[in-house]
Amino acid sequence: MTAFIKNRETSEKNTIKILLVLPFFHPHPGGSQKYAEELFVHLKKAHPEIEIDVLCYNTDQAAGYEEYRGLKIYRVPCFNILSGKFTLPRPVSLVKKLYQLSKNKYNFVNTHIRFFDTCWWVWAYAKIIKAESIFTGHCASHPNHQNPMVRLIAKLVDLTIAKFSLRFYNIITVTNECAANFFAKTLRVKPNQIIYGSVDTNIFKPQQNLPKRKIPKTNLILGPNDILITYVGRLIWSKGVSIFYEVAKDILNRFPEKVFFVIAGPGELQDKLAKYIVENNLSQKIFLTGSLNSGEVQGLLGISNIFVYPSFHSEGFPQAILEAGASGCLVIATDTGGTKEVVKNKETGLLIFPKNKTALKKKIVWAIENPKQTKTISQNMRRLLIKGFDGEIQSERFFSLTHRLNQP
């Protein structure tokens, strides 16, 4: 593999320059972009000599340029084909920005997610500017969508243009073992390395013992004996939030006094859920917060007792699960993507099959009625995350990879 750094000026030899290209990035919420953000922020913190730029599509009408957590973010105008789900850049704007950024003489160009156009052309752009291309895979299945036609189109794209494009990347990493197996068996591409998702365990930490627990964007203040059950993520069909709401109603019939639910995040189901809550007279028991910033998410998870992730989405290695586990929550999650690689059933969390309302209800009831076992399991999860999934650990794996590639 060519070591491009040999062709640079001597003064540049100790500097690694990385361009991260993603369709979605800050301030847009989502697991894959959050994974990339945490990985590169920790990389920059540990190795200040590394220069990291981000090129993304301006899906949230943010500033065209922003410096954020040590990263330089460049945003280009785009077409939001499916709001919050699929976007394409304005071609002229993209080409102009790529030409401008090519003058930075990047050593590496990294992109994520097979289902977007960045997967299809980033490898070619890297070759043109004489950089190494790195693709990072997340999902361990074909895309899942409520519309069967969208599912079919996404699967066809996955098995044709995405599969074809992956063969041209210099290096492929994945965020979980399940994705590695999917790449090898279905896409016929063997990943070079697994670099797991990570969480800052110094920021996300337990706060359940506070005498008063204030829920962000609500007037709800809980006492130490109340039980808070939380979901954080996008409010879309494939994340299972409608199932979670139905289970919450049943749980409240059994535990009407001490149990409260929070559903946090933006999405197309927010208005429908709000309507159901009012119709069922549950406005004092189930709370919708809407979109939360990172500090608010940290605060909410820290005071939550149980975190539920009922997804049947095409998951990778869900960031929300890591953050909840680090925060001391008991994690109840569906066995999707790489979830079972961190949620070991009855050891570090509770696993259920997707779309199984009965199983989800039973697990929540068990957690409420068995606080000692629940605490032990949640403590096991936090210890596991501190030991193997802290941001510093995973960013060093990425650094070692780039360091090897740049050896003469």
pLDDT digits (tens, 9 = 90+) for 305-363: 999 999 999 899 999 999 999 999 999 999 999 999 999 999 999 999 999 999 999 99
**Mean of pLDDT values over 121-135:** 98
Round to whole Å and give the CA distance between 321 and 128: 39
**Mean of pLDDT values over 283-288:** 96
Examine the pLDDT at 405 and tell me if it is beyond 80. Answer: no
Q: Is-contact 14 90, C-beta < 8 A?
A: no
**Mean of pLDDT values over 3-26:** 67
Round to whole Å and give the CA distance between 81 and 382: 39
Kindly give, in sequence order, each residue whose CB lies less than 8 Å from that of residue 230, ignoring residues fewer than 6 positions away: 261, 262, 263, 264, 300, 301, 304, 306, 307, 308, 324, 329
Residue 11's pLDDT band (cuts 50, 70, 90):
very low
The number of residues making up the chain comes to: 408
State residue 14's pLDDT score.
60
**Mean of pLDDT values over 394-405:** 86
Q: Which sign, positive or negative, has the C-alpha torsion 316, 319, 324, 326?
A: positive
Round to whole Å and give the CA distance between 339 and 324: 13
Residue type at 312 in one-letter notation: F
Range with lowest mean pLDDT among 76-85, 165-174, 227-236, 339-348: 76-85
- How much is the mean pLDDT over the chain? 92
Kindly give, in sequence order, each residue whose CB lies less than 8 Å from that of residue 146, ignoring residues fewer than 6 positions away: 237, 238
Q: Is-contact 198 361, C-beta < 8 A?
A: no
Q: Which residues of 207-239 are buried (b: 16+ CB within 10 A; e: fewer)?
A: bbeeeebebbbeebebeeeebbbbbbbbbbbbb
Question: What is the SS3 assignment for 118?
Answer: helix
Round to whole Å and give the CA distance between 255 and 257: 6
Q: Where are the beta strands (DSSP E) in 24-159?
A: 51-57, 65-68, 71-76, 78-82, 86-89, 108-112, 132-137
Domains and CATH numbers, the chain: 4-198+390-405 (3.40.50.2000), 213-388 (3.40.50.2000)
Do the bridges between strand 78-82 and strand 86-89 make them parallel or antiparallel, or are there none, so unpaired? antiparallel
Residue 402's pLDDT band (cuts 50, 70, 90):
confident
Q: Is-contact 75 90, C-beta < 8 A?
A: no
Examine the pLDDT at 5 and tell me if it is beyond 80. Answer: no
**pLDDT per residue over 164-207, tens digit each?**
999 999 999 999 999 999 999 999 999 999 999 999 999 999 99
DSSP helix, strand, coil percent of the chain (3-state; round to 5): 40, 20, 40
